[in-house]
Amino acid sequence: MLSTDIKQEVIVKRIEEIVSILMLERPLFKEELNYSEIVTHLVNIVQKNLTNEQFNSMSNDKLKENCSFVMATEILGKIGEEFTPEQMAIFDDAIKRK
């Protein structure tokens, strides 16, 4: 049985590799996200939502897809931070119409 520290290291290493690939493939991720912070965030998500068996059996493609989704969501969450109240009202209205 692997110790908790080794299991943690496996998760971190695998997520670091995926995040590095995504940041190379999608420069916006590298520009908008802090590498260390997003790795920590993704590790926390994995540890809260997946068993070790689920994580270990997940393909790299599926892990990459899931990490990409979380990273894109993080960027999307930043969109409104710089909006003026008028811009936010326009944005909210546009979202409601969709």
Q: Where are the domains of the chain?
A: 4-97
- Locate tokens 């692997």: which residue? 2
- Note the maximum CA span of the chain: 57
Q: Which pTM was predicted?
A: 0.80
- Locate tokens 């068996």: which residue? 53
Please report which residue ranges of the chain form alpha helices under DSSP H. 4-25, 27-32, 35-49, 52-57, 60-78, 85-97
Compute mean pLDDT per 10 residues along the chain, 98 residues long, and list them: 78 98 97 97 96 95 97 87 84 75
Residue 11: what pLDDT?
95
CA dist 35 and 41 (Å) reads: 10
Residue 98: what pLDDT?
55
